[in-house]
């Protein structure tokens, strides 16, 4: 009876976690949708510029050669059709992203690797056990926060960059893939594999927090220096305070 009650409680908790969602997952979905809309905007601008340019050229020829005015009847539909076709063609930025998507985790730039890891984990959330979702949220939040810092890593941060690359490019996806490859029975709510997976994902989330702290150490040091200066300059010596 207690086992059945525990199963019902777990399934209820799992349902509520998935139905309500979390701010982290909603934010990740918004960022993914924003990236898609940005590509749509680039295609629309490209198509609009080309259509407008061709219309200007056609208008110029019509002004100098009035006989070409009737060409508008045939040229305008062709130009509009070209504009529509261009909306379905990827932009240079999209082609660059597609080329990078074919790169391995060993060669993909770290900022793009973090985006890939975030989207990959977001896509798999519905397949993960409910108790693993808080850890998944922590990891996605960490990936989002660490992305701006990855552009700033220099030659002196090779060890840190290697740790980040291994965690988000190899260990995390391998952990998730190996768990999802298990049979359904091994991924049941009361299965030992599910419990161990939740614990492993918690460990990954903790390591993400540690790596984020390392990435921010220079900014933290910069802030501490200014904070100590302000405290020394204006708190400890009353004679130095402004009137």
- pLDDT tens-digit map of 53-93: 888 887 777 777 766 666 677 777 787 888 888 777 777 77
Of the two residues 54 and 155, the one the predictor is more confident about is 54
Mean pLDDT of the chain: 76
Produce one character per residue of 112-149: b if its CB has 16 or more CB atoms within 10 Å, e if not: bbbbbbbbebbebbeebbbbbbbbbbbbbbbbbebbeb
**C-alpha span between 232 and 237 (Å, rounded):** 7
Q: Is-above-0.85 flag for pTM? A: no
C-alpha 208/C-alpha 200 separation (Å) is 12
Residue with tokens 């208008």: 59
User: What is d(CA 167, CA 214) in angstroms, rounded to the nearest whole number?
Assistant: 14
Mean pLDDT, residues 16-24? 61
Predicted local distance difference test score (pLDDT) of residue 243: 47
* pLDDT tens per residue across span 87-137: 777 777 767 766 655 656 677 788 888 888 888 888 888 788 878 888 888
Q: Indicate whether 13 pLDDT > 80.
A: no
Please give the average per-residue pLDDT across 186-190, as a whole number. Answer: 76
Compare 172 and 94 and report the one with higher pLDDT: 172
Q: With a cut of 80, say whether residue 222 has pLDDT above it.
A: no
% of the chain at pLDDT higher than 90: 2
**What pLDDT, on a 0 to 100 scale, did the predictor assign at position 203?**
92
- Evaluated on CA atoms 35, 40, 43, 44, the torsion sign reads negative
Residue 133, H or E segment: helix 133-150
Q: By percentage, how much of the chain surpasses pLDDT 70? A: 74
């Amino acid at each position: 009876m207690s086992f059945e009650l525990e199963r019902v409680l777990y399934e209820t908790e799992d349902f509520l976690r998935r139905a309500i969602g979390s701010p982290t997952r909603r934010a990740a979905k918004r960022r993914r949708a924003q990236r898609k809309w940005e590509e749509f905007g680039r295609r629309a601008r490209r198509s609009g510029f080309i259509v407008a340019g061709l219309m200007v050229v056609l208008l110029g020829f019509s002004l100098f050669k009035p006989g070409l005015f009737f060409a508008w009847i045939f040229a305008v539909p062709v130009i509009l059709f070209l504009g529509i076709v261009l909306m379905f063609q990827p932009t240079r930025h999209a082609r660059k992203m597609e080329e990078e998507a074919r790169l391995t985790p060993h060669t993909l730039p770290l900022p793009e690797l973090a985006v890939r890891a975030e989207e990959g984990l977001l896509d798999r959330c519905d397949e993960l056990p409910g108790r693993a979702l808080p850890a998944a949220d922590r990891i996605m939040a960490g990936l989002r926060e660490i992305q701006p810092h990855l552009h700033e890593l220099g030659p002196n941060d090779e060890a840190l960059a290697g740790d980040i690359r291994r965690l988000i490019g190899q260990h995390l996806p391998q952990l998730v893939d190996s768990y999802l490859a298990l049979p359904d029975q091994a991924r049941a709510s009361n299965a030992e594999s599910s419990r161990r997976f939740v614990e492993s994902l918690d460990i990954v989330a903790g390591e993400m927090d540690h790596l984020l702290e390392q990435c921010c150490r220079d900014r933290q040091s910069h802030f501490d220096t200014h904070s100590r200066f302000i405290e020394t300059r204006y708190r400890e010596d009353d004679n130095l305070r402004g009137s």
